[in-house]
Structures are given as C-alpha cells and as structure tokens.
Structure 1
Amino acid sequence: MVKRNKKVAFYFLIASAVLLTQAPAASLGQAGGDQVTGVAVIANSCDAQAAEAMADSLRSAGFDVVVLSADRADEVGDRFPLILGGPDAYEGVGEISASVLNDTDEAWLREVQGALIVYLGYWGNRTAVVIAGQTRNETLLAARLYASSGFPGSPMSTRLTSLESRGVLPGQYANYSTMILSPYGDNVTGFMLYTVSSGTLGGVQATVIVQSAVNVYAPQSNATSVAYYLENGSICTYASISGAGMGSFTSNLTCTAWEPPNLTGQEVPRVLGRATAEYREVPAGTFYCAKFARQTGAVWVSPEVPITGIVEVVDYQPGGPLSVMS
C-alpha cells in the first residue's frame, strides 16, 4: 500500500468532514417550495410516535400543525399534507400513500430489508410528502431525520431559516467530539471538536458553530472552521489553518444569503431521500442509522448524533478507505 504523509492525510480527512458538516441535509435532497404556514400530518395509530415527533418539530418552527387519521383526510384544508407510512400502512393510510408513490418505490419499500423513503409527489392535484419505512421503526427514523435536517425538498423548508428551528440550540453542545480514524487501520489520527454558542456578527445575533480539528500527529497544528447562522437564514463562514512548518492561513469571511426556496421548474414527483436502516457499531456506541449509499462509499446518519447526524462515513479513495466516526 502506498504510504501517505500523515499530516496531509489528516487535513484531507478534515476537508471531507467539513463538507459533510456544512450540508448534512444533502442526503435527503435539496430544499424548495412555496411558503406554507400549516401542515397536516396524516398517520395511523401504529405511527403515532412518529406523528407526534414530526408535529412537535414543526410546531417548534412556528407551523400550525394538525395530526389526522386517514378517515379525516378531508380536513386537511389548505395545509400541506405530510403522509406517514407506506402503501401497506394500516387504517387507510396505505391507500393515500400508494396514491402518491410510484410503483417502483412501492415495490422497493416492500422488498428491501430496512427500506425507508422520503418522497415528494402528487396527491390528487396538490403536492404532498410521503415519509415511509418498511415498518414503523423505519418510518420513525425517517421522520426524525427529515425533521432534524430542515424538511429539505418540501415547502416546509421555507420556514426553517435557523438552527434553533432544527433543534440545535446555543450551549446545547460544547466540545462534542468526532473521532477520526486512519484510512490504514483503526488507529486514531485526530478529533473534530464542536461548540455551539450565541454570538453576534456585525451587531446581528447569530448562532455560532466552531469546528476545531485536533491532529494527534501534530498537536501544535490547528484547523478551525467558524460558521455564523443568522436569524434570517444567512450563513457566514471562515476557516483558518496553522502549524509548525505550515505557516498560517485564514480565509475571507464569506456570507451566503438565504433565499426562499422554490419548486417551480423542478421535477415533481421525485425521491427526496432513500436509505436502508441498520444498526452501526462505532467506538462511541451502537446507533440505529439510515445508511445512504454514495458513489465512493456510504454514510450512516442518526438523529441521536448532534449537529452533523453522522455516525460513520466510509469513502474509498486511491490510498484506501477513510472513516469519520462519532
């Protein structure tokens, strides 16, 4: 196996982790849609836990939410419909779900072990989101992940402009760490440390996430990424790297303004997220995860992991697999 400089390998891992941290919702699709203020969660009694978890998350973001059984679906009104359960769901929900899903995804939910899906489609002449798993366990996992990532791909995402609305609160996480393993074995090469706090940028209130890298092979080095999440949804970031023999570098502050997402011209229906559920054991413990396949590997995510949701990432690179573990 070709040897790689340990410092270079470590910072390559850092770059991969930073990209994943800045866009954890990408696994579930991109945001879009018209502004909505009300949501109707349609679910059966078996998925009551998932329905309440979804409703609580939506209410905390300022939505007017009702939870309805299938026989009360005519009470949706002008609210956005969010359907929990697949084509075989009990108490009439399955019929509604099947009318939104396509035949391919219905078959996938039935046949693939641990299947879960988030799907944007048409229910009659209106758009709706189906969140479904092969059993109630996968449905609950999909619902919790979809809520924590900001309801990407649906009109609900237009209201999720802050980290607080996604359940990430200042002071909630301080020095939460992610272990980084070597691509050549199970030895630890470093840690990512996260701190969430309140702050200001140009006199504007912000939630600040500081991500620092600790390299066990070069403890005197430092790699830090700072992100300011403003209340209007804008995100401003900069990064700095320093170390012996490396000098120091600090990037310019770059701000991305939040714009109300819009589905106009985008494909409907479409799959917003498709994964399989499984337990994944890592040094931090065992997590019930959604596994998303990637072109060069896979990422396992869980709502139990703060900030990033990432339990483990495996990317197969020319020098070997690299793993980022919680």
Structure 2
Amino acid sequence: MATKPTAGKLAGLQAVSDARGVIAAAAMDQRGSLQKSIAAARGGTASDKDLETFKVLVTEVLTRYASAILMDPEYGLPATKVRNDAGLLLAYEKTGYDANTAGRLPDLLDHWSVRRLKEAGADCIKILLYYSPLEQTAINDVKHAWVERIGDECLAHDIPFFLETVGYDVDGAGEKTLEYAKKKPVIVSGSMAEFGKTRYNVDVLKVEVPVEMSFVEGTAAYKGEKAYTRAEALEYFRDAEGMSDKPFIYLSAGVSNPVFIETLELAAESGTKFNGVLCGRATWKDGIDIYAKQGETPFRAWLETKGVENIQNVNKALEAATPWYTKFGATSYDELR
C-alpha cells in the first residue's frame, strides 16, 4: 500500500480530480509537435501566437468536461486563466529531448522551478521522461538521478509529482514495429516498477498502456500483425498494475479517439484499477487541420461539437476507473486528511 501523502500533496491531488476521486484530465502541454502539426496542415508556418490561441480555445471549451488541464508555462499561461475552475498541472520539462546525444536525455525549462510553477498556480507538477528499462545502465542512471532531484524538489514544496514515462526502441527501429510491440509490455511494466520506488517521491505515474492496440488480435484497432492475443493483452494490463502500488493514470499517446476508448475498455475488461487519464490529442488532434486552414471561429465550433463528443466519450469510459485514494487504503478523500 502506498504511503499516505502529505497535506499539500493531498490538496493538489484533490484539485485535479473529479468528485469520485478519478483524474479526468485534459492534456494541452504539447509545444514543438503541435507547432509542427499546425504548420504542416497550413502548408506554411505556425507562430508562438498560434500555440497560445490554440491552447486558449481548447482550454475554454474542454475544461468544462475535465477535472483538470495539463499545460506548459511557455505558451499556455494565458489558457490557464480560462480553465473553468478545473485543476492545473504544469509541465516542467523542455519539449522533446536532446537528439544530439544517445538515450533521449531530458532537460528542464531554463526559467522555471517547482517554486515558480507553484506560484504560477500549479496544483501539481508534471514531467515527461523517455524511458526504457532496456536502455544502457549508464544512460538510465542519469535519468534516475534527474527524477530523484525533481521528486525532492516537489517534496520540499509539498506539491504532487506526476511522472509521465514514454517508452522507445533503444535499437532505433521505431515504435510502430511488431518487434517493438512485443517489447512494450516489459518496457511499461519495468518503468512502473522503477519509478514506483519510494526514492523518487513520485505521487502519480502517468503511463502508456502496456500493449500496442494495433497488434492486439481481436480488437477493432487490429491491423493484421499479431503481437498478442486478447487474453495475453489483458494479462499484460494486470502485470503492469502489479509493478507499483502508486496511483497511475493512462496517457492517450496520440491515438485516435475511438482507439483510446477501446484501449480504456480493454483496461476495464482486465480488471485493472487505473485511476484516470491525462488525455490530449485523442480529444483535439482532429481539429488541428480546421484551426490551421480556417481559423479560430470554425475551430471553436468544431471543439463545441466534435471535441466535446470526444471528451465525453473518454469520460464515459472512465466510469471503469478507480479513485486514486483507494491506493492508500482509503474509501474517501476525507479519510486521508
């Protein structure tokens, strides 16, 4: 059973949760990837103002249906002012990773600290880390020390630490292959086992699902190459959950809304007691083309219809989620106060 959080961490977790104690959060901290996507759809360039505007529109509309929003402090602070009283997670890492060195090493934002993010209104701090337990020990040791430092900083400021781990192919063949799909259960489970350790002071693990849905036989997302049967996939969900007693939530990893909904349904079928989601592109990605080519008003109209439908689909699937406070042996938030 996880160790009871401190008063500040408890307050932060409650702030980003719904009335049930489930984290039903939207993610809008994309920076470099979003700028490239808008530019590509436009057939030109995308400015910093485009990023700010896009984030404001998504936040204004979708936080009516979310318990919290994840935002970056570089382009997203204007959006945090229109979040409909939803909780706020702020990202602390630079976008992307160092492509000039091996191992996808991370870095923190130069002009921010946990203290400053908290002063900017953050209820929780989020870090993204590209991680694989199959990576060289020397590289992973750098990452372990990096997470330890951030965990200690969050502990000092009594604010929850959300760690997002995203796996990658250490051999460089890519993450869309059958070979990588077969490795993914080990990568996800190994990441949860490592960062669930007390030394990191992580409060919530934000994780990928332990399978690639397009390789799960018998799913709607299946494309014909089998990495696992449906029964094996269900077992991998249960295996990953058993690696840590920390609260954990799923990320949408850029898949479409229908695929993410089917993913959450599979998690529910497995009996996995996940504690929510931080879902970004599965709700708003299909609107990028509209914003890029038609502008703000048509994009807002799309968000009010299709975007709302997408997030409501996610919320429906979240009926299978379990309150995070159960990870501490509690039946309500008040029991932990």
Instruction: Check whether TM > 0.5.
Output: no
Q: TM (normalized to structure 2)?
A: 0.27
Higher Rg:
1
Higher strand share: 1
Q: TM (normalized to structure 1)?
A: 0.27
Higher helix share: 2
